Amino acid sequence: MSYTPTPATVTLADGSTPALNAALGSVFRLAAAGDRTIDVPTNPTENPKIIIQHYASGGARTLALNTGAGGFRFGSDIAALTQTASGKTDYIGCVYNSTNAFWDVVAYVKGY
């Protein structure tokens, strides 16, 4: 049996539109001190799957994902994100669809 170590979590700089470089890892944590919009991820071919941990710091926070060219895309099962409760972490799982050049949001769990 082989062992693959879990990659380190990449901390995103808090700001109105945090940048996400997919080449840096596969798990990204944002401690948001306000409502935020994650910008279109750069370098999507390096890591075709990412997880975003959204922690609501100091109050309930809303996270949006940039849906512009090369950005995020929602389907019928997960159509949008909702507000994260203060002091809680929500997890968003995305898979890069190279055919359409979008990050498809395929998982969303709340309240950890």
- The per-residue pLDDT for 46 is 57
Percentage of the chain beyond pLDDT 70 is: 92
Q: pTM for the whole thing?
A: 0.91
Which positions ≥6 away from 58 have C-beta within 8 Å? 33, 86
If you search the block for the tokens 């060219």, which residue do you land on? 69
Split at pLDDT 50, 70, 90, the class of 34 is: very high
Residue 46 has phi, psi (to 5 degrees) of -70, -40
pLDDT surpasses 70 at 6: no
Residue type, 24: L
Residue 32, pLDDT > 60, answer yes
Domains of the chain: 10-109 (2.60.120)
Give the tokens for residue 6: 């879990």
